[in-house]
Amino acid sequence: MFYELKQSFSRYPEKAAFHISGKSYTYAEFGTIVSGIKEILAPALKKDAKIGIIACDHINTYAALVAVLCTGDTFIPIDPSHPDERNNQIILQSELKFILCADLSVLSDDFKQNHKQRLHYINDVLPGSAVPFLAEPPDEQNAYILFTSGSTGLPKGVPIQRKSLSAFASSVQSYGYNISPDDRFLQIFDLTFDLSIFSWFIPLLYGACVYTVPKTSNRFATAVEILEENKITIALTVPSLIHFLRPYFDEILLPDLRLWLFCGEALHRDITAEWQKCIPNAFIENVYGPTEATIFCTRYPCSKEINDDKAYNGILSIGKPFPGLSTILVDENKNIVKPGETGELCLAGDQVTSGYLNNEEKNRTAFFDIVHKGNISRFYRTGDLCFLDNEGDYMFAGRLDTQVKIQGFRVELGEIENHARTVHHVDNAVALAHTDDRGNTSIHLFVEPSEANVIEIASLLKLKVPAYMLPQKIYPLAEFPLNVNGKIDKPELKKLICK
């Protein structure tokens, strides 16, 4: 896989590797920036170094990601739009000593001051040799660590080894997508979201070009302009994009798209069938996977007409596992369920993380050993409920816990509740997700008692969690309604959500 990356630099020097904010960068230009950044990294590097990268829509940010992969170290993307406190937590947990930043204007003064020693500016790197040298570290070395929402209030670090990234790239290669240097990929994801790695890393293995979507207030609409203007051929997006675009489907026609992958949240059959008319020449696939299993690890190729019955509650199947991935469905006692029964989907194999960063407690509950096909395997519990249909395709049946998706972003409602409870006079807090008629999901926070200070809670949350985790509304209540078992009656609370 890393060999293919090196090949792209030498085979396609004149071809565009990236297109960012109206400017193209060839593989040769990109390669010299990667080499230049490698030289900046060199003095700092001990073996297995972790390198923070401030995520901005800048060629040097992408070059930094590739440079770290080339040196065989581990990149940790940091989103400057997330609260400093959260980013400081990530820096602390991962003991980051070195952070690269291509655009200092995206950082707060406090952040710059606090991390003066760690921060290295990479806007004006001196070019290095055109073809970056690639180290060959052991497969077990981490390629990257991403942080996801954690129900305890602290983000959880998910380390992904190089062998997992290689296994993912090999599966993609084996699927006959026929990716070629003529392909143009859409890159719409924040770099802290692992789906972005499909969109910027995979194209580089084939000499294809990456078209990035800037983080504007209306990213989905901007994406359509980019798709249209640049005749994009391959796109991976979250289904929320089509929920947002649905009112404009009549005006959208993108005949150059040949492959469209959906991932990150449940994909509804009806809207997908409507969307197919906007991309008449594209093959649509529903792919699935948690960050813990490297980008995605099951796939359901939808038929061109999307008129089959491969849906449960209107949600399309997530299909079959990638090669090398073992999947089982278990009950609450971790026993494998009978064929056709619903259980928690558990995953094992090269794509699965070896465990959360410095989090033994979570590792004990999220992973377990079981004898599978004669061998002891370590399985990861996804928290997703599924059943197998009679063609061996997994059908998605919801979550076991209170993790929700907001525009594809993973949110543990418990994380919001935990922060809200720390506010003075807040006795209790319950966060709920609500999906409106257009399919847009938002968070609503209920707090007890009615005197709880809504402004104080909202201000605290802004300091603690990214914008997509902020509740759309906070409801102070004298007392939460209880059900017959004396538990908080969440369906009753849902009725209070303002339409």
Tell me the per-residue interface mask from 302 to 321 with ligand AMP, x by CB under 6 A, - otherwise: ----------------x---
Q: Which of 290, 321, 355, 471 binds ligand AMP (CB under 6 A)?
A: 290
CA distances from 468 to 67, 347, 417 (A): 30, 28, 15
Q: Which helix (H) or strand (E) holds 370?
A: strand 367-372
Task: Give the residue with the Cβ less far from ligand AMP, 33 or 404.
Answer: 404
Residue 77 as a binder of ligand AMP (CB under 6 A): the answer is no
- Whether 92 and 115 have beta carbons less than 8 Å apart is answered as no
| Stretch touching ligand AMP by CB under 6 A, among 26-34, 39-47, 263-271, 432-440 | 263-271
Residue type, 254: L
Nearest distance in Å: CB 459, ligand AMP:
27
| Stretch touching ligand AMP by CB under 6 A, among 287-295, 324-332, 416-424, 457-465 | 287-295
Q: Which of 59, 107, 131, 266 binds ligand AMP (CB under 6 A)?
A: 266
Task: Give the residue with the Cβ less far from ligand AMP, 9 or 168.
Answer: 168
DSSP labels for 5-37? HHHHHHH-TTSEEEEETTEEEEHHHHHHHHHHH
Residue 267 as a binder of ligand AMP (CB under 6 A): the answer is yes
Nearest distance in Å: CB 45, ligand AMP:
29
| Stretch touching ligand AMP by CB under 6 A, among 286-294, 332-340, 373-381, 451-459 | 286-294
Q: Which of 32, 164, 187, 286 binds ligand AMP (CB under 6 A)?
A: 286
Phi, then psi, of 111 in degrees rounded to 5: -60, -45
SS3 487: coil
Nearest distance in Å: CB 174, ligand AMP:
20
- Whether 74 and 49 have beta carbons less than 8 Å apart is answered as yes
Nearest distance in Å: CB 321, ligand AMP:
13
Residue 80 as a binder of ligand AMP (CB under 6 A): the answer is no
Helix-then-strand count for the chain, H and E: 14, 27
Task: Give the residue with the Cβ less far from ligand AMP, 34 or 366.
Answer: 366
Residue 288 as a binder of ligand AMP (CB under 6 A): the answer is yes
User: Which are the contacts of 120, defined by CB distance < 8 A and separation ≥ 6?
Assistant: 40, 44, 98, 99, 100, 101
Q: What CA–CA distance (Å, rounded) separates 63 from 68? A: 9
Nearest distance in Å: CB 397, ligand AMP:
10
CA distances from 103 to 122, 124, 150, 485 (A): 8, 10, 29, 54
| Stretch touching ligand AMP by CB under 6 A, among 225-233, 265-273, 334-342, 442-450 | 265-273
Task: Give the residue with the Cβ less far from ligand AMP, 24 or 326.
Answer: 326
Residue 382 as a binder of ligand AMP (CB under 6 A): the answer is yes
Restricting to residues 327-366, which ones interact with ligand AMP according to CB under 6 A? Answer: none
Tell me the per-residue interface mask from 221 to 260 with ligand AMP, x by CB under 6 A, - otherwise: ----------------------------------------
Q: Is 335 exposed, middle or buried (0-12, 13-18, 19+ CB in 10 A)?
A: exposed
Helices 59-71 & 2-11, crossing angle to 10 degrees? 130
The number of beta carbons lying within 10 Å of the beta carbon of residue 158 is 22
| Stretch touching ligand AMP by CB under 6 A, among 84-92, 197-205, 262-270, 466-474 | 262-270
Task: Give the residue with the Cβ less far from ligand AMP, 399 or 421.
Answer: 399
Q: What CA–CA distance (Å, rounded) separates 164 from 290? A: 13
The number of beta carbons lying within 10 Å of the beta carbon of residue 110 is 11
* DSSP 8-class letter at 488: B
| Stretch touching ligand AMP by CB under 6 A, among 62-70, 288-296, 469-477, 484-492 | 288-296
Tokens standing for residue 166: 């290689």
Q: What CA–CA distance (Å, rounded) separates 189 from 306? A: 26
Counting residues that bind ligand AMP (by CB under 6 A) gives: 17
Tell me the per-residue interface mask from 118 to 157 with ligand AMP, x by CB under 6 A, - otherwise: ------------------------------x---------
- CA 73 to mean position of chain CA atoms: 21
Tell me the per-residue interface mask from 413 to 452 with ligand AMP, x by CB under 6 A, - otherwise: ----------------------------------------
Work out whether the CA dihedral 324, 329, 333, 337 comes out positive or negative: negative
Please give the residue ranges that form the binding site for ligand AMP (CB under 6 A): 148, 263-267, 286, 288, 290-291, 318, 382, 384, 396, 399, 405, 410
